[in-house]
Structure 1
């Protein structure tokens, strides 16, 4: 299946990870994140069980604390400081997973890539597939040795509200929303409190779950391409992905990257920012 991707290096299989657990340059990252309304504790779950050697990446902590929006990208120096303390440095091979299969791991994949990490991949199917195959987990807390991590922000992979407002006039970027269709079309309540229902004018909708098989692994490359095109995306033109708060937008970004799209960015604020009352127009 991986052969059908232009960039298969962005995914690793459970078989590959199991065979490489003891590689000294490998860093395994548990990037589990739950929405506030899910009432689950990702850190507590990690403490109970995780893939051997994995460290926990706290999406809410490794973020920009100076803005009143959920888990926005941190400044490069904060990102570098946090991941150094996690024992991740230049030259490491990084593999990221989450306990829902494929939800928040892609966000942390995107974060590492936007700050310059080259060798970073997501575990296809995540912890659910790992557990279903009877592979090992433990509750041991790794004691990381601090490493040097050079963080340089690649601005081409992220969009701000100002840029998204400008895009309404220029239409340079196609906008693709990863939320469920009910939220996109305002036929279901918006889950982020205080936000309006609807979507960014002119945006297309492709719920991120449509990129995944029932076992939470990605569809093959041809199927992914067909899904994006069916959503109205011209794969020869730039795409910016959006969602509720910048998490599942990264699943779309990963899917586009797997099939070789070279001009993909994420709207970091997503609906948590755009949906607030103010100067942002909304289509219901």
Structure 2
């Protein structure tokens, strides 16, 4: 099938690609499939830590032809004070070029979790002006559920000629910073603050940070409740609207946060599906906020 025809089947504005669509289009010229998995594991010193999903990709299998996207290092700023600080435009351009992605590429991203790593990369792509990117609905879990084939081992990326290289440019509106959140708390800016963490983290009962709880005035929309348990596809219709209701009760812009700006992007994906456009992710999230002893936190369950 030609690349032009696949463009009509998957418009650049489509946030999700189905496993059927991907199965039908694997091998299409210009299609790049990325495994963005990062593993959340127990740390020997206690608590939790993150590891690259690359070994899992090699040994346990991946979608045929899929490349591994190193979100932990190549798509995060290694000099950032907090985990998963978004990269510069220059670093992002270099990372996508290393994966053989150019201006004419069509990108589909997945992970082996509930989709938050894929949505993080999807959000990064869009925030740097690359719109022809989608998240595989249900990720590898849904792909496996359909008994679709897997491939094992490393897949080498293609090359991109200089004239086809993608040059990233930061697009305003995708990210919020600490000052933006402080402006909301001070009443200087209208926005709905949304915590994407589980209810126990929201209430300050659990969490790996030195200071627990949520930012005052926040509502709780856990990203884990936005997907189906069985195949990890995103909810649709009334079911999704009901889960998002605390975030959409007002027409104000939405600022989402979590622990490190990861789970929040899954909420951003869901809100995008619902047609909301004034959505930003607080990149530093609670990793940054809780590190400031003067930044207020509330330890109470959602009302």
Deviations 1:161-202 (A, max 9, x none): 122112211241111011011111112x2124xx31111110
Partner of 1:258 in structure 2? Answer: 273
Equivalenced residue count is 274
Structure 1 Cα separation of the partners of residues 176 and 247 of structure 2: 21
Q: Point out where structure 1 has 5 or more consecutive residues left out of the alignment.
A: 1-6
Task: Report the Cα distance in structure 2 between the residues aligned to 1:22 and 1:179, rounded to whole angstroms.
Answer: 37
Q: d(CA) in 2 for partners of 1:47 and 1:69?
A: 28
Cα drift, residue 101 of structure 1: 3.6
Query: Within 2, Cα distance between the matches of 1:41 and 1:73?
Result: 16
Aligned mates of 2:56, 2:178 — CA distance in 1? 34
Q: Contact conserved, 1:8 with 1:258, CA < 8 A, in 2?
A: no
Q: Return the match for 1:190 from 207, 210, 218.
A: 207
**1:220 and 2:236 equivalent?**
yes
**1:157-168 equivalences in 2 (<5 Å):** 157-168=174-185
Q: Whole-Å Cα distance in 2 between the matches of residues 221 and 152 of structure 1? A: 34
Q: What is the deviation of 1:68?
A: 1.8
Contact 2:192 2:250 in 1 (8 A): no
Task: Measure, in 2, the Cα distance between the counterparts of 1:8 and 1:119.
Answer: 7
Structure-2 separation of matches of 1:246 and 1:39 = 14
Deviation for aligned residue 1:263: 0.3
Matches within 5 A, 1:1-284: 9-36=14-41, 37=48, 41-48=52-59, 49-61=61-73, 62-147=75-160, 148-169=165-186, 170-187=188-205, 189-192=206-209, 195-214=210-229, 215-229=231-245, 231=246, 233-284=248-299
Structure 2: any 5+ residue segments left out of the alignment?
A: 1-11, 42-47
TM-score, with normalisation over the residues of structure 2?
Answer: 0.86
RMSD between superposed Cα atoms in Å = 1.7
After the TM superposition, which segments of 4 or more aligned residues of structure 1 sit over 3 Å from their partners?
A: 38-41
C-alpha separation in 2, matches of 1:39 and 1:232 = 28
